[in-house]
Amino acid sequence: MEKHKVKRQRLDRMLEGIRPPIMNGPMHPRPLVALLDGRDCTVEMPILKDVATVAFCDAQSTQEIHEKVLNEAVGALMYHTITLTREDLEKFKALRIIVRIGSGFDNIDIKSAGDLGIAVCNVPAASVEEIADSTMCHILNLYRRTTWLHQALREGTRVQSVEQIRDIASGAARIRGETLGIIGLGRVGQALALRAKAFGFNVIFYDPYLSDGIERALGLQRVSTLQDLLFHSDCVSLHCNLNEHNHHLINDFTIKQMRQGAFLVNTARGGLVDEKALAQALKEGRIRGAALDVHESEPFSFSQGPLKDAPNLICTPHAAWYSEQASIEMREEAAREIRRAITGRIPDSLKNCVNKDYLTAATHWAGMDPTVVHPELNGAAYRYPPGVVGVAPAGMPAAVEGIVPSAVQLSHSLSTVAHPPHTPSPGQTVKPESDRDHTGDQL
């Protein structure tokens, strides 16, 4: 009999914080979760509405974020269009978790976040197919000169004779038998390799962090150094995370190690390529053509920067990740990660915490217990200067009409804490990840 009591007690403890008993009296307060650099919360709210108040900031920097969010938000969702340095993170007084809607997290100082007791998560499986498809599209475009042929017709050029075709399509090449070199064989790198093989490419890759044997499973050839890959590749495609060790991985020195007239494609991170060196190589013909979806300075403009006069260049606005399906899937997963943080224990309950090693050891992690509730502001805007959006009748936010908070609230065991002051760190240190998801290189 005593044994059964112990089991019952353990079961009760497991359920605590996940499905608490319904008690009489006022509802328990809920956490405030903010979408920092966007305004559409319609995907996230159905997942979070019964456990959190969701607001949006539509900010491009922390200077545009309302004081209420800085003081009270315990959770934050963000895309790639806002950057959080240590100085930015210290402005948040109650923040416990940040979820990057996408897989790249180089716009967050994850070490400083850990020092401040803030867990940082990402969505590593986001847009794998979209980025691989977009990369393959860029590669095909470079080889078959589709963009340049289209532009010629749009500009009114009469293309009739073989000589005219030869002139406009100069540089077009046969794909079968060419060697594609992939730097970083994460999820996207592997997806691209499978697509490239179907088109007849010989595929080689360089990835110093990948375990042995993957190349055998995929039927690829592995090279041991970056120099080997550059020397043997007719086209080089980047699919690695950006960190302090690989900034300007493609520079004047490494470009000179590439084959004369090779192609370059980057759908990972803009900081991987020295754009000044690339522009010079394109002008000199050392690189036959390049396609970039990401840039050192974003949003990208042809009218500014070193690439404005570079020939044989295709640029897209950091959109290789996007499809309607992928956008919804990554937002849903990001919201579920926030929900896991609220209803479970941080970081144990989190699925994709990227800074677990940096989290302060002395911090006691448990479920969140926020002290302020703003049910009437679900889906409202917190932007500086103060300007909360209007609330529809019956307390419903106009932007999310039809979404009603649940009557039953979850209780939590951890009070909101203020972060202690820290001295600014000189820079972010990113430890190579064992999983090294290269899919978010792009998002």
Residues taking part in catalysis: 269, 298, 318
d(CA 200, CA 307): 31
Two structure tokens written together for 261? 């007239």
Q: Check: CB of residue 163 under 8 Å from CB of residue 106.
A: no
Among residues 98, 97, 91, 110, which one has the least CA distance to residue 37?
98
SS (HEC) of 11-73 = HHHHHCCCCCCCCCCCCCCCCEEEECCCCCCCCCHHHHCCCCEEEECCCCCHHHECHHHHHHE
Token code pair at residue 234: 């007719």
Structure tokens at 349: 């309950």
